[in-house]
Structure formats: C-alpha cells, structure tokens
Amino acid sequence: MQNPLVTKLEQFARLSDEDQRALHTLTSQPVRRYQPDTDIVCEGDVPQTIRLVLSGWAYRYKQLPDGRRQVVALILPGDLCVDNVFVLSEMDHSIGALNDVTLVEIPPAVFEAVMTVHPRVTRALGWASLVNAAMQREWVLNLGRRVAVERLTHLFCEVFYRLRAIGLTQEDSCEMPLTQTELADVIGMTPVHVNRVLQTLRRQKLVELRGRRLTIPDLEALERAALFTPNYLHLGRVEAQFDA
C-alpha cells in the first residue's frame, strides 16, 4: 500500500529514494487506532507527539460551552493532526475521529531530524502547511459568502479533489463518512437544512450519496454549482528546484 504521506508530499516535490525511505521510517512509529466519535486530542491538552493519519478521517473542531460545534478542518490520510508541537504549550482546539482512524505518533525529535537531513521533505511539508492555510481561507469564504447549495457542493468538490490526489477515489466516487449532522457542523447550517439541500442536489443529479459513499456523475457541473476553483489546493505543482 502506498504511503499516504509520500503520496501527498510528492504533489509538491519530487522526492529521492532516500527522502521516501525517511518518510517510511516516520510512518513506522507505533500505531494508534481510534473508533468513530472519539477524541484524538482535546482542547487544553499539552501536545507531545506529532500525529499522522494513515487511514480514516479525522476533523478539527471548536465547541461552545452549550455544546454547539464548528468543524474547522477535515484531516484525511497523509495529513498531520498536530505538527506544531514545537511551539504550542496547549491545544487550542480538539481533534476527533469521524470513522475508524489509524495514525502514527511521531516523537518531535525524530520528525525534526528527518527535516534537518532531508531539505526536500522540509520544503514539501512547508508547501503542505501553506495549502492548509489556503484551505482555511476558502472555508471562511464558504461560511461567510456562499449560499447553502454552494457551501455543500464546494465541500464535496474539495474532498473529491483531495482524495483523488492521494489515490483514494474510484472513477467518479469516493468515501463520504460525514453524517448530515456532521455536514451541518462543517458548513454552518442545521441538519434539516442540509437534508433539504441534499434532496435538491439529488433531484438535479449533481450527487448521489449511498452507503457513506459519494458519487459525482458530472464533476464539472458540480464545480459550476459550487463556484469551485481548485487553485487554492495547489495540486501537482512540483517546483523544478525541489526535484530529487
């Protein structure tokens, strides 16, 4: 099975064999498994390890005292749950498992040693961090200016592009473990409103959702409905100076 971290970082740099072996070493650290709807990290925790998702979906979230929750990011295979343990004294958000999640916990010293010896890995990780910031900007735009149909279709487009980039789509379909309640927490609507939007998208034959699987019959049509432009994901933009 392809290492998801290698697959992700090779979008930003052509890694040498030595780079790839170093990343495989990182992902050979002890494996932890989390069941759906359990917290991986809680707000207020002191971060001590760097966590890399190997399989499954996780999510970052903030929660108000009365229980209202906002999902602020989706964490897919190959993504780092927490990569800033070098500077954080405590977590300012929580991370939960959406479905069965397998991850590795990497000691900061091991992670830092790899970055010191492998500059292309460091540059690729820097690109990945910039893409994370770009996605946050796009999510703010999604919540602040897009209407309901655009919010949901934009999310579906982004997830499909991200999964396709790491080889986790099958033709026009991909996994979609988010329930309607969880979709509501992502796009800032009520579950009832999400249900109505999904019914509209089904009638328009823009999406099919069955058995926690998303099928997109016409990706270009979905992108038009979402006002979606994938430039902020910076996929496949390998810079010549980063070549192995």
Burial of 139 (0-12, 13-18, 19+ CB in 10 A): buried
Report residue 53 as tokens: 């998702």
The pTM of the full predicted model, rounded to 2 decimals, is 0.94
Using only the alpha carbons of the chain, give its radius of gyration. 18
Question: Using one digit for the tens of pLDDT, what is the confidence trace for 152-174?
Answer: 999 999 999 999 999 999 999 99
Side chain identity at 217, as an amino acid letter?
A: P
Strands of the 169-170 sheet, one edge to the other: 169-170, 173-175, 213-215, 208-209
Residue-wise pLDDT tens digits, 29-48: 889 999 999 999 999 998 88
DSSP state of 30: P
Q: What are phi and psi of 143, to 5 degrees?
A: -75, -35
Domain ranges of the chain: 4-131, 147-226
CATH of 147-226, one of 3.40.50.720, 1.10.3080.10, 1.10.10.10, 1.10.490.10: 1.10.10.10
Distance in angstroms (rounded) separating the CA atoms of residues 218 and 156: 12
Q: What is the DSSP string of 190-242?
A: -HHHHHHHHHHHHHTTS-EE-SSEEE-S-HHHHHHHHT--GGGG-TT---GGG
CATH superfamily of 4-131: Jelly Rolls (2.60.120.10)
Chain segment 178-237, per-residue pLDDT in tens = 999 999 999 999 999 999 999 999 999 999 999 999 999 999 999 999 999 999 999 876
Query: How far apart (Å, rounded) are the C-alpha atoms in residues 244 and 106?
Result: 24
Distances in Å between the alpha carbon of 102 and those of 9, 36, 105, 163?
19, 11, 10, 17
